[in-house]
A = this chain, B = another copy of it.
Amino acid sequence: MTHIFYFFYGFCLCLSLLCALFVVIWNLHWRGGFAWDRSLLHFNWHPVLMVSGLVILYGNAAVVYRIPFTWKQRKLVCKLVHAGMMFVALLLSILGLSAVFDFHRGFNIPHMYSLHSWVGISTVLLFASQWILGSIGFLLPCSPPWMRSFLKPVHIWMGRIILVFSLASCISGINEKLLLTLNGISAALYNALPVEAVFVNFLGILIMAFGMAIFGILFVKKWQRPEDEGPENAYLLLSEDTP
């Protein structure tokens, strides 16, 4: 099964790279590049940071335990890598949010009016709560076993839900940006499908394909880390850290 996993995982990495490339090229080539000065270019950090943090890094962090190579490492190392990647993903998302809030301030645009923003902020709030609860529950040696065994299924379920929320936020956000930007230039430019629109719609499809691939990896039981973490075992991880 290992080579099939690595084939699939390689596919995920290619999609990650393509999503990152597409979102950067979009904002460099068609939207004028980046700045952190409350100008129009300030906004461009928003899609780049959200797609990189909330989708690409989040998705890759979610499947860290599935990589057979990591099974030979101590579980604590995997946990720290997982938590560390998720922390960077959360930081990028918060930076991405601050980019759009700062841009709004520069142009006196009200915050948080669109459904995209409601779903997006819910995603980041769920993600932050998940990271804090996960760190307390699974990394602090003093967290009781009953709490770990209660938290584990909730953590796994919520982890998937956050990815679903991220995908919905990204698709609605990209769609909103294209509608506002292209139709802002000419009354109905988006529906004439200029090259930018096709390129960015394709970015949206790549993001959904990446989500499909990550859910695929998480779905296959044989790709789960072999030794299952019982509550007592989990409790000892920080103190006796078994290989």
Interface residues of A (CB under 8 A from B): 109-110, 113-116, 118-119, 122, 153, 156-157, 160-161, 164-165, 167-169, 171-172, 174-176, 178-180, 188, 190-193, 197, 200-201, 204-205, 208, 211-212, 215-216, 219-220
Q: Please state if B161 and A114 are interface contacts (CB–CB under 8 Å).
A: no
**Complex: A205 Cα to B211 Cα, angstroms:** 20
**Complex: A176 Cα to B183 Cα, angstroms:** 12
The count of identical subunits is 2
By beta carbon, the residue of chain B nearest A166 is: B168
**Complex: A48 Cα to B35 Cα, angstroms:** 41
| A115 in complex: contacting residue of B153, B156, B200, B212, CB < 8 Å | B200
**Complex: A170 Cα to B61 Cα, angstroms:** 27
Q: Please state if A168 and B208 are interface contacts (CB–CB under 8 Å).
A: yes
- Shortest Cβ gap from A173 to chain B (Å): 9
Q: With A164-B164, A171-B168 as known contacts, state yes or no: A191 contacts B118, CB within 8 Å.
A: no
Q: Please state if A219 and B153 are interface contacts (CB–CB under 8 Å).
A: yes
- Shortest Cβ gap from A156 to chain B (Å): 8
Q: Could you jot down 18 A-B contacts, CB within 8 Å?
A: A113-B191, A113-B197, A115-B201, A119-B171, A119-B205, A153-B219, A157-B215, A167-B167, A168-B168, A168-B172, A169-B171, A171-B171, A171-B172, A172-B175, A175-B175, A175-B176, A176-B179, A179-B180
